[in-house]
Amino acid sequence: MIDASLASFERDVLEASREVPVVVDFWAPWCGPCRALGPLLEKLERESGGRWRLVKVNSDENPELSAQFGVRSIPFVVAFVDGKPVSHFLGAQPEGAIRAFLEKLVPDPSELELRHARAALAAGQPAIAEEHLRNAIALDPSNDAARLDSVTLFLDRGDLVRAREQFALLSPKAEQASAWPTVSARLEAAERAATLPATGELERRIAADPGDLDARRDLAEARIASRDFAAALEQLLEIVRRDRAYGDDLGRRKMLAVFEMAAGDPDLVSDYRRRLSATLY
């Protein structure tokens, strides 16, 4: 538990809430219900093992903060996540009600590990990310988001065997995840690439017969596997131009998946989205 003021609020609450939820208790020394609620919140914070943080704000000493958050009566408790207020309650509450409030606010341990893994990946620390993903899955084997991230990590590393193992353990609900189309398309490309002829041979086939859509598909899969997205998109767009129905609209569907994989190159994605639209319409 820490005490915050107007000067420290951004650091102690807004910035800190990007790591774990922060619960702010607006109180005052003269407030009887505050004296009952405060120790209870402090006890629950100690029990949480760092899953959330408690910050206390003396409303008498910080009227600007009280006005900013519309505090008209105390105790007033407001929770922050990712720098924003997300939930609150007014007045002293029984312990059961506060625990229910916190359970909705605080992610389970598996989700926390997943957050740590994604932060490590963003920081360019794949080994640390892998450890957190392993922890997330151990804590909750049904955490499909952690498994999908693991598949991506192993594909980045070129470890197709372990990527396939993790993919096979996904639950049926995984197909509803936003990452599913991208991850499944990338894994399929890597698996196909492992059995395809050399890219030079595929290029010679296309040069000899530009209408060889099977060769174009295979070359696109090889380029996806090597993360050469521009070359993959060029082949897929040519498939769309020559035969929209090929492979049940495979060219367009694969292009949409590659757009997600290449999100880090918005100019490339924008260019090929425009070219795809011009081809279709």
**For the chain, what is the domain count?**
3
* Contact status, residue 97 vs residue 105, Cβ threshold 8 Å: no
In what side-by-side order are the strands of the sheet with 2-3?
A: 2-3, 53-58, 22-27, 76-81, 84-90
What per-residue confidence (pLDDT) applies to 48? Answer: 86
- So which residues are the catalytic ones? 31, 34
Residue 14 pLDDT exceeds 90: yes
Q: Is the pLDDT of residue 112 over 90?
A: no
Indicate if 80 and 127 belong to the same structural domain.
Answer: no
Going by the DSSP 8-state scheme, the letter that residue 13 receives in this structure is I
Q: Are residues 113 and 101 in the same domain?
A: no
Q: Please report the pLDDT score of residue 29 as a whole number.
A: 94
What residues contact residue 198 under an 8 Å CB cut-off, 6+ apart?
none
Q: What are phi and psi of 81, to 5 degrees?
A: -135, 130
Domain boundary among 105, 125, 159: 105
Please enumerate in sequence order all residues whose Cβ is within 8 A of that of 185, keeping only pairs 6 or more positions apart, or say none: 224, 254, 257, 258, 261
For the stretch 237-261, pLDDT in tens is 999 999 999 999 999 999 998 998 8
For residues 29 and 81, membership in a common domain is answered with yes
Domain boundary among 65, 82, 105: 105
> 127 pLDDT exceeds 90?
yes
Residues belonging to the chain:
281
Looking at residue 178, its pLDDT comes to: 85
| Whether residues 35 and 64 fall in one domain | yes
- In this predicted model, which residue has the larger pLDDT, 212 or 179? 212
What stretches of the chain show up as alpha helix (H) in DSSP?
A: 9, 32-48, 63-68, 95-105, 109-122, 126-139, 144-157, 160-168, 180-193, 199-208, 213-225, 229-242, 250-261, 266-280
Cα(89)–Cα(126) distance, integer angstroms = 40
Q: What is the CATH number of the domain that holds 209?
A: 1.25.40
> How much of the chain exceeds pLDDT 70, in percent?
100
Position 107 pLDDT exceeds 80: no
User: What is the rounded average pLDDT for all residues in the chain?
Assistant: 92
pLDDT band at 10 (very low <50, low <70, confident <90, very high): very high
* Domain boundaries, position 216: 199-280
Return d(Cα 244, Cα 131) in angstroms, integer.
Answer: 43
Domain boundary among 49, 76, 105: 105
Q: Does residue 116 have a pLDDT over 80? A: yes
Q: Is the pLDDT of residue 108 over 90?
A: no
Is the pLDDT at 103 greater than 90? The verdict is no
SS3 192: helix
What is the average pLDDT across 148-163? Answer: 94
| Model confidence pTM above 0.75 | no
Is there a domain that residue 41 lies in?
yes
Report the CATH number that the domain containing residue 67 is assigned in CATH. 3.40.30.10
Q: What is the mean pLDDT of residues 202-208?
A: 97
Let me know whether 223 and 167 are in one domain.
Answer: no
Least confidently predicted of 110-114, 149-153, 162-166: 110-114
Question: Is 95 found in the same domain as 17?
Answer: yes
What is the mean pLDDT of the segment spanning 143-151? 96
Residues 32 and 72 in one domain: yes
Kindly state whether residue 182 falls inside one of the protein's structural domains: no
In a domain, 61, yes or no: yes
Pair of tokens at residue 11:
């650091």
Same domain membership, residue 239 and residue 227: yes
- The domain that holds 148 is classified in CATH as 1.25.40.10
The β-bridge relationship of strands 76-81 and 84-90 is antiparallel
Question: Is residue 79 a part of any domain in this protein?
Answer: yes
Q: Is the dihedral of CA 118, 121, 126, 127 positive or negative?
A: negative
Q: Mean pLDDT, to the nearest integer, of 55-77?
A: 93
- For residue 185, being part of any structural domain is answered with no
| CB contact at 8 A, 53 and 23 | yes
Lookup: tokens for 58 = 């003396």
